[in-house]
Amino acid sequence: MSISAMPPCQAACPIHTDVRGYVSAIARGDIQSAIKIIRQVNPFPSVCGRICTRVCESACRRGQVDEPVAIGALKRFAADEARSAEKKVRFSGPYYNEKIAVVGSGPSGLTAAHDLALLGYKVTVFEAQHELGGMLSRGIPEYRLPKSVVKDDIDYILSMGIEAKTGAVLGRDFSVDDLLKDYQAVFLALGSERSLYPKCKGVELPGIITAVEFLKQISQGQRPYLGENIVVIGGGHTAIDAARTCIRLGSKNVTIVYRRTMKEMPAGKEEVEQAESEGVKFEFLTAPIEFLGRGRVEGVRCVKMQLDEIKGSKRGSLVRIEGSEFDIKADAVILAIGYEPRTDAIRDIELISGKSGKIVVKDESGLTNIKGVFAGGDVVSGPMSVVQAIAWGKRAADSIHRYLRNLPPKEIEEPVVVRPLDERIVTLVVKAVRQKMPALSVEERIRSFEEVNLGFAREQAVREAQRCLNCGSGAVVSEDCVACFNCVLVCPYGVPVAGEERAKIDISQCQACGICAAECPASAIDVKLESREESRRKLKEALDNAMREAPEKFAIEFYCQYHEAGRSREEKAGTYGVGKPCMARIDVYQLLKPFESGSTGVQINKCEHHDCRFMGCEDWILKHVERAKKILRDIGIDDEKLKIVREECE
């Protein structure tokens, strides 16, 4: 197993966000570092913190123990905290002479623009609508993604010196050829928002509207009342968004008709639950066969479906149940069954288009058959998630940079990923309840378009972040190992084993408690979660400060950085604090070192819990203190100067 295995959350994320990095920063109370880590790969932190599909959470190994870490909510917390404090980037002007045109200002286009601007190019974004953001601005209702949030992320991106031209329609106002005259590269990120219609009789009846059109009206501030009885056809996010919007507009009976079951729904479970609690009804395994009405839609004739399992197929095949027809009353019908790209405008040029209007690209680099023209996002893949669109934008920016600079194509290396926890280890990990995000009450929700989810408070976020298992940041054995195998004997989880020449520690199973490192006689084990170097540096800093400010009388206080992260530490004159990820990480050396510098005392602030984060840590703290006390007595220093002070802990 490689020593630099990637945590599963990061591996699952289409843009490989360093989830562990920012979650552990929040766990330490360091929100500024958290947002920096997120921004390294994602220019839409506030948006993704709200509507990301969170494949990271499905991969989270905490889910093997109890529930996955609420990663999405933590991203939102970091982004929201930073939004008030974050300064706009000061842009120093482009570095290269080449100009790049990005067509489409959805997440894919704006991400490419952002990354290209960071690389040093002058970028112009062309948007057909009058507002930037693509589906973010007009496809998702405000109760789920407020416009101000989208605007903040977009403003930050534009602050990199990106020019945006709105109301500029490809095919009407300019062509790809026109762009190639003024720009050295073009990125087409046109999205995929042409609605598909079911092949049913009566689909042309007035009163039948597409979800895209309906949500667009809402985003423009219109509040159309469609009637008392609404039927929404489809099972994706847009279907749920349309249904919940109708509830807010006063419709009494809103029914979502979906031909498969809840399990296959592209919309998340949480969203379905929220919709249900607001009064949306669901008809699963149901498909429309005819829209009824004279001169205007009055109802939908549906048929029940049966799911036949097919070997090798995840979703199975759908079969109509004969004779199961029934009618649902409808004053209006909203269609949300699927979307395809609208690429009529570029059909006449030599760009290769695939079926359903998609643009064909060579591979993930987004290269089209026209030199200098790249494409990505939903226009290539069909409708996908926001983070996948962002990933396309990032890859396109990289490809364009390589194309303009004549660099070789990017080599894609499959990361080595941390494996799942062994069953034995799962039973040893201390359980911790997932924090629930506060939300508006149902009564409050259905009366307005106010954001439903309210975000974590600081204390909640810190506590939630502390549930992270820090996968892959555990112990690493160096060549200095003398094969004493003391680590095998001291590990509370039984992870180290004797190898042929030295100890072996499986990074996938190590919990990063650090006890082996504290007990290794050859200092051959280091733990990535606070390395030896970092730990020594923190102690040295505290001692340097103490000797500068209060050389005559000072004391060192070790405290649990998790315990302290949720609140601000009390500053006491003459006392210098050193935070630790686990108190068992303070080895005898660190307990003695302050006395070498003349400290009048050393104190360990420890909560009352026996196993707070790691098994058996309390026992090791006591052992280290006892050993250090013995040495103090030998030296002739009063051992009472070293003490453990118990702190209250929730």
Partner 1 sequence: MVVAEIKPFVEIKEMLKNFKKVLIVGCGTCMAVCLSGGKKQVELLATALRAAKRTEDDDEILIGERTVGRQCEPRFVEQLKDEASQYEAILSMGCGAGVQEIVERLRPMLVLPAMNTKFIGASDSEGVFAEMCAACGDCILSLTGGICPLARCPKGLLNGPCGGTKNGRCEVSSDIPCAWVMIYERMKELGKLDDLKKAVKAKDWSKTQRPGVYKAHGEEQAK
Name the residues that contact partner 1, by CB under 8 A.
480, 482-486, 489-490, 520-523, 587-589, 592-593, 595-596, 598, 631, 634-637
Q: Label residue 287 left, alpha or beta by phi (over 0 means left) and psi (-120 to 50 means alpha).
A: beta
Is residue 345 within 8 A of residue 103, CB to CB? The reply is no
In the block, which residue shows the tokens 């974050």?
A: 86
Of 292 and 522, CB closest to partner 1: 522
CA distance 366 to 403: 11
Q: How far is the CB of 552 from partner 1 (least distance, A)?
A: 13
Of 261 and 486, CB closest to partner 1: 486
CA distance 592 to 581: 19
Q: Which of 326, 251, 317 has its CA nearest to residue 287?
A: 326
CA distance 401 to 451: 39
Q: Which of 289, 278, 271, 384 has its CA nearest to residue 328?
A: 289
Q: What is the 3 state secondary structure string of 187-220?
A: EECCCCCEECCCCCECCCCCCEEEHHHHHHHHHC
Of 93 and 636, CB closest to partner 1: 636
Q: How far is the CB of 635 from partner 1 (least distance, A)?
A: 4
In the block, which residue shows the tokens 């004391």?
A: 555
Q: How far is the CB of 557 from partner 1 (least distance, A)?
A: 18
Distance of CA 300 to the CA centre of its chain: 39
Spell out the residues 6+ positions from residue 533 whose beta carbon is closer than 8 angstroms to its own.
none
Q: How far is the CB of 536 from partner 1 (least distance, A)?
A: 10
Secondary structure (3-state) at 76: helix
* Token output for 298: 């009055």
Q: How far is the CB of 51 from partner 1 (least distance, A)?
A: 50
Of 59 and 503, CB closest to partner 1: 503
* Token output for 307: 């799911």
Of 67 and 639, CB closest to partner 1: 639
Q: How far is the CB of 629 from partner 1 (least distance, A)?
A: 12
Is residue 145 within 8 A of residue 51, CB to CB? The reply is yes
Query: Which whole-number Å values give the CA distances from 323 to 200, 279, 320, 632, in the listed order?
Result: 18, 29, 9, 88
Q: How far is the CB of 543 from partner 1 (least distance, A)?
A: 12
Of 200 and 490, CB closest to partner 1: 490
Of 426 and 635, CB closest to partner 1: 635
Q: How far is the CB of 594 from partner 1 (least distance, A)?
A: 9
CA distance 49 to 548: 43
Of 349 and 622, CB closest to partner 1: 622
Of 193 and 618, CB closest to partner 1: 618
Q: Which of 646, 515, 538, 645 has its CA nearest to residue 593?
A: 538
Q: How far is the CB of 573 from partner 1 (least distance, A)?
A: 23
